[in-house]
Amino acid sequence: MELKMRLCVALLSLSLCLGLMGHVRAQEEADDVEMDVEDAIDDMREEDVEEEEEKAPGPPPVPTVTYRAPEPMGEHYFAESFDKGTLQGSWCVVLCVGKWEVEEMKDTKLPGDKGLVLKSKAKHHAISALLLRPFTFDTKPLIVQYEVNFQTGIDCGGAYVKLLAQTPDLDLEEFVDKTPYTIMFGPDKCGEDYKLHFIFRHKNPKTGEFEEKHAKKPDADLRTYYTDKKTHLYTLVLNPDNSFEILIDQTVVNSGNLLNDMTPPINPPAEIEDPDDHKPEDWDERPKIQDPDSVKPEDWDEDAPAKIPDEDAVKPDGWLDEEPEYIGDPDALKPEDWDEDMDGEWEAPQIPNPICETAPGCGPWERPMIDNPNYKGKWKPPMIDNPNYQGVWKPRKIPNPDFFEDLHPFRMTPFSAVGLELWSMSSDIFFDNFFVTSDRTVAERWAADGWGLKKAAEGAAEPGLVNQMITAAEERPWLWIVYVLTVALPLVLIIVFCCTGKSPASTSAAEYKKTDAPQPDVKEEAEDEEAKEEESGLIDKHKSEEEDSPGEAEDAAGSDNKDGDTSNEVEQLMLLEEH
């Protein structure tokens, strides 16, 4: 109990100290406000404060990450970090309304790191660049990756990249939404619809026409990637075995197979329904029909009502037949602008009759309605199985004249350029570190040198846990309740446990003496135990002596002594029992 009390006092002291610290902090802030008002005194005090701050140790400096432009370290088809600071020489900007700039992020954590920024809001943007050489889908995988940062959030718009198909008439200066592409990949969002596109244009081997194939939707929740204003790395991996992976920040968020997980499917069905087949006129699709042999019973009354008055009901005593249930409001007044020629005769609004409040009812009394026990409703013949049922008709199947089987959809149309063709309701979308390769190791090294530095810099600049919690609570005030319950509730429980624990009831010696109640005593209990042991020993001894007696003569001779001993032992036993 003493330990609990000490712990309780310590906790209360800690709470008091925290409260005093908060009060002192508030007082200091108030003093600072007064100092700002007194300009003449401020100068002297500010110099003193600056000297003290120079002497006092400050918080540890935030670790900095030095930026160095990534360099491709292996086979690749395209690499762009925008660190040259210009688009001239490699990128072709279409003369649209939307503007592009090469600049650092607004709140950059990595000075010197530049990227491509979509600057205009609600405008059409288009920009593209040629690969070092066209990419051909053969025996090597395709890895495409780039970075996106929605600096001001994203309301409605896309940030996807198009891999432009290699065609004889490809002109980057005429890059528009109709320009043929092989793959479209990247984030897109409008309203609450968060998408991560992977679309490729598949060529029909029979007709030569192209059809867009869309990958299934990711199972992961994508909301955070659009709202946290951090730089995210988007990666698409296509393998020659038709498998694909989509990654965000090097974590797989979607995967599948081109043959099984695209919509519409790559290959059409081998059979289709015959468009010239028609259902015969006598085809019977009814599984049940009315029994033609069934006859309505003679006692079936179709005219009997479903409800009838309850003949056993009696009007309650005190029912006010002459009083209406509602009356005109006697306090209501006709509006001054009421025109009886236009609005008709004015009537006061109806209100419940106050006289009826204490009565069982007002107005003409009617018997309540009850279910009619003789009601059967309209008679219908029972349903039976249709002996002529032929099932649901379907047109016959015929071979699909457009059928083909492409078991290698990975072998797509080669592409020779990358492009961004976007319309967005948000501005300042940041793109960086585009990379196209067939070597996953090379892509991961490029990501580590580019996006990896951004991630490290953003992580180093992130506020501590407390500041993050405060920021989150400012955006979602209900979190303050969670914080209070999480911190205060355990403290209250500890204090209650320490300070209100039940202890054995203590009674003074005087009280025991006054009431003659039995007083618990550890020492007395020990003496009781010793007495019981002694009593047990005496009884055993007595039995042993009786068993060891040599004969009747000795018993008679020693009867006097034995009676005396027995008497003494009995007295001792009685004393022990009284004790």
pLDDT for residue 222: 92
Residue 446's CB is within 10 A of a number of other CB atoms, namely 26
pLDDT for residue 554: 45
**Cβ-proximal residues to 45 (8 Å cutoff; 6+ apart), any chain:** 35
Residue 116's CB is within 10 A of a number of other CB atoms, namely 21
> Phi/psi class of residue 369: alpha, beta or left (left: φ > 0; alpha: ψ in -120 to 50)?
beta
Q: Is 203 within a domain?
A: yes
- What pLDDT tens digit does each residue of the chain (579 aa) get? 555 555 555 555 555 444 444 443 444 444 443 444 344 445 545 554 455 455 445 545 545 677 888 999 999 999 999 998 889 888 999 877 789 999 999 988 889 999 999 999 989 999 999 999 999 999 999 999 999 999 998 889 999 999 999 999 999 999 999 999 999 999 999 888 999 999 999 999 999 999 999 999 998 899 999 999 999 999 999 999 999 999 999 999 999 999 999 999 999 999 999 999 999 999 999 999 999 999 999 889 888 999 999 999 999 999 999 999 999 999 999 998 998 888 899 999 999 999 999 999 999 999 999 999 989 899 999 999 999 999 999 999 999 999 999 999 999 999 999 999 999 899 999 999 999 999 999 999 999 999 999 898 887 766 555 555 665 566 567 666 776 767 766 777 777 666 665 544 444 554 444 455 555 554 455 555 655 555 555 455 555 555 554 444 444 444 444 454 545 554 555 555 554
Q: Is 19 within a domain?
A: no
Q: State the Cα–Cα distance between residues 112 and 237, nearest whole angstrom.
A: 30
pLDDT for residue 340: 87
Q: Is 196 within a domain?
A: yes
Closest CA to 411 of 218, 219, 259: 259
pLDDT for residue 78: 97
**Burial (CB count within 10 angstroms: exposed 0-12, middle 13-18, buried 19+), residue 340:** exposed
Q: Is 50 within a domain?
A: no
**Across the strands, what pairs with 80?**
434
Q: State the Cα–Cα distance between residues 439 and 140, nearest whole angstrom.
A: 8
pLDDT for residue 460: 73
- Where are any strands of DSSP class E within 16-121? 78-80, 91-93, 100-103, 115-118
Q: Which two tokens stand for residue 199?
A: 């679309």
Q: Is 307 within a domain?
A: no
Q: For 304-334, b where at least 16 C-beta lie within 10 A, e where not — what string? A: eeeeeeeeeeeeeeeebeeeeeebeeeeeee
Q: Is 515 within a domain?
A: no
Q: Is 1 within a domain?
A: no
Q: State the Cα–Cα distance between residues 141 and 244, nearest whole angstrom.
A: 10
Q: Which helix (H) or strand (E) holds 351?
A: strand 350-352
Q: Tokens 């659009």 appear where?
A: 226
**Across the strands, what pairs with 384?**
289
pLDDT for residue 555: 47
pLDDT for residue 66: 78
Q: Tell me how many domains the chain contains.
A: 1
Q: Tokens 């190791």 appear where?
A: 441
Q: State the Cα–Cα distance between residues 148 and 115, nearest whole angstrom.
A: 10
Q: State the Cα–Cα distance between residues 83 and 113, nearest whole angstrom.
A: 6
CA 223 vs. chain centroid, Å, equals 11
- One DSSP character per residue, 206-253 reads TT--EEEEEEPPPSS--HHHHHS---EEEEEEE-TTSEEEEEETTEEE
Q: At 415, which CATH number?
A: 2.60.120.200
Q: Is 284 within a domain?
A: no
| Angle (nearest 5°) at CA 246 between 240 and 249 | 130
Contact by Cβ (8 Å): 308, 292:
no
Q: State the Cα–Cα distance between residues 66 and 138, nearest whole angstrom.
A: 40
pLDDT for residue 499: 64
3-state helix, strand, coil in the chain (%, to 5): 30, 25, 45
Q: Which helix (H) or strand (E) holds 397?
A: strand 397-399
413 lies in which domain range? 78-267+409-461
pLDDT for residue 89: 81
User: Would you call 54 helix, strand, or coil by DSSP?
Assistant: helix
Q: State the Cα–Cα distance between residues 43 and 485, nearest whole angstrom.
A: 45
pLDDT for residue 372: 93
Closest CA to 161 of 194, 132, 199, 192: 199
